[in-house]
Amino acid sequence: MTESWTDERSAAPPNPRRWLILAVILAGAFMILLATTIVNVAVAPIQRDLRSTYTAMEWVIAGYALGYGLLLIPAGRIGDRFGHRKLFLIGVAGFTLASAASALAATPGQLIAFQVVQGMMAGILNPPVLALIQTTFPAKETGKAYGIYGAIGGIATASGPLLGGLLIAWDLNGWDWRPVFLLNVPIGLATFVAALILVPESRGRRGGLDVIGMLLVSAAVLLLAVPLVEGQRLGWPAWTFVSMAAALPALAVFAVWELRRARRAQVPLVSMRLFAHRSFSAGVGISLCYFAGFIGLLFALSLHLQIGLEKSALTTGLILLPFSFGTLVGAAISDNVARALGRGVLMLGAGIVIVGMVGIIATIHWWGSGLELLPALLFAGFGSGLVIAPSVEIVLAGVPWQDAGAASGVLGTAQRLGQAIGVAVAGVVLFGTLGSYSGTAAEKASPELQASLVAAGLPPAEASAATTTFADCFIRQSRASDPTATPPGCADSAPGPVGAAFDSAATSALEINFNRAVQWTVGAVLVGVILTFLLVYLLPRRPEEPWAEASKPDWNVTTQTEPAQ
């Protein structure tokens, strides 16, 4: 089918219920973005309740991420072909059911499987969110709509640890960690019903589905994402580097195939002409780099607070809350700032985030990791709000509505790959520094330990030997792939003054070790934000107008049939 449409984007009157439609759409976006971080704080109670290994818990997180990234681009094209509303409803229903199933999981294997499915449903749900915004709002209002989207997305991602901590601390009906997943059920049901009533259907480019293109791009995503997710746990064996290197020729083959389809007048999965425009190609790079830095920062701080400083999930969420609040404020004013500064809003936002992250490093080094972090986190969050929403608008501003779904899928994939890269880099630097600095941390904690053991009644020679054993065990645990497991030959905590001395020394050494490691880690992921700042120079100074077929569809006109390609 091919639609006839009006010549001007603004010719069709805007939907009078468009702001209600936006609320429904963003409820779906909130669920899938919240899920990227809320489960992190539930790892310990899940591991304890299901008697799971640390490796299995890593796959609970990784399964969602892999499923999410795998279907973004295919789902974008499917939405263009069959309807963004239909895909949105399928995604909401599937995500809700997978969340309920995850809450009922009785074994680690079941939970991993349900999380993979939930991630795939998130991948189906993400592209129609942006596509529906693009097709529902007139050009003059898309900036405000994307600003609200950015605010909701930033809040959902950054507040995940706090909501997860609250739910676990509440322990509703003795369900422990399960409400973390059950939270999505009422939200999903309400969103599904509201979408049925309010959200209109919209379609993009018709034609056949590019199944070979879907397989090629999925293979490329897997070749890159799997080693990023698994590399740290496995110690980065040779196959991880081979797989990541193979992703590049796989992407090249995909691009050649898409160009071949276009030359044959067949509808490609992703139109390569999109990348010929700087607003799109540079914008996708900006999203990838920024999400690597932004998510890497939250990942590192969450581990630092929960493992290094042994704070509860709730306390961790409260400490990170200023970042969420700053993001809300920054995103709320981002549209007005973008109108005044153009692409400069991204430079301003990235610059503020850079200063905030430097402030986080300095705060941890000189003052601490509690309330002392509030100013730096608030500042960095404010800058983040100025980046996320305008970057989405800049990427999609010149995209014809016919390609809105496919373009949204590409953007979402860039964000998810950026997230995987950020977590991988943060993991490599954090755990690598923990291992290399553990000897120094143990050495700094040893004098106090030896004095405490002597005060507890141990002879000096025995206290010295025990201190040496403590240092050896601490170093081995810091360098282990599972930092929660006690190394062989190392005893768990003992009762009495002697046990208290060992516990105090372990806490002190862990804090010293993590304080050093997280500073290096934040510095490493800061590179992603710096690259974001530099990539802004590649954007056109003025926002690009849609370069082809930019008019909004008038669905009241008749359609004509053409052969499916």
Instruction: Give the residue extent of every domain in the chain.
Output: 2-210+267-433+516-560, 212-266, 436-515
In terms of residues, how long is the chain? Answer: 565
How many Cα atoms are found within 13 Å in the side-chain-facing hemisphere of 301? Answer: 32
Q: Which pLDDT score is estimated for 401? A: 65
Residue 518 reports pLDDT greater than 90: yes
- A 10 A CB-CB count for 200 gives 15
Residue 275 tokens, joined: 């990348």
Residue 14 tokens, joined: 């805007």
Residue 3: DSSP 8-state:
E
Superfamily per CATH, domain 2-210+267-433+516-560: MFS general substrate transporter like domains (1.20.1250.20)
Per-residue 3-state assignment (H helix, E strand, C coil) for 114-159? HHHHHHHHHHHHHHHHHHHHHHHCCHHHHHHHHHHHHHHHHHHHHH
Identify which has the larger pLDDT, 187 or 561: 187
Residue 464 tokens, joined: 């010295």
pLDDT per position as a tens digit, 374-431? 999 999 999 998 998 788 877 777 677 667 777 888 888 888 888 888 888 888 899 8
Of 101-110, 311-320, 454-463, 551-560, the range with the highest mean pLDDT is 101-110
What does the mean pLDDT of the chain come to?
84
Nearest residue to 10 (alpha-carbon basis) of 496, 546, 561: 546
Given a contact cutoff of 8 angstroms between Cβ atoms, the answer to whether 528 and 293 are in contact is yes
Q: What is the mean pLDDT of residues 89-104?
A: 96
Identify which has the larger pLDDT, 92 or 67: 92
Q: Which pLDDT score is estimated for 515? A: 92
pLDDT per position as a tens digit, 183-236? 999 999 999 999 999 998 887 667 677 889 889 988 998 898 888 877 877 778
CA 221, CA 328: separation in Å to the nearest integer?
31
Q: Tokens 């282990």 — which residue? A: 480
What is the band of 562 on the pLDDT scale with cuts at 50, 70, 90?
very low
What is the band of 555 on the pLDDT scale with cuts at 50, 70, 90?
very low
pTM for the full predicted model: 0.83
Q: Which pLDDT score is estimated for 565? A: 45
Q: Which pLDDT score is estimated for 313? A: 77
Residue 30 reports pLDDT greater than 90: yes
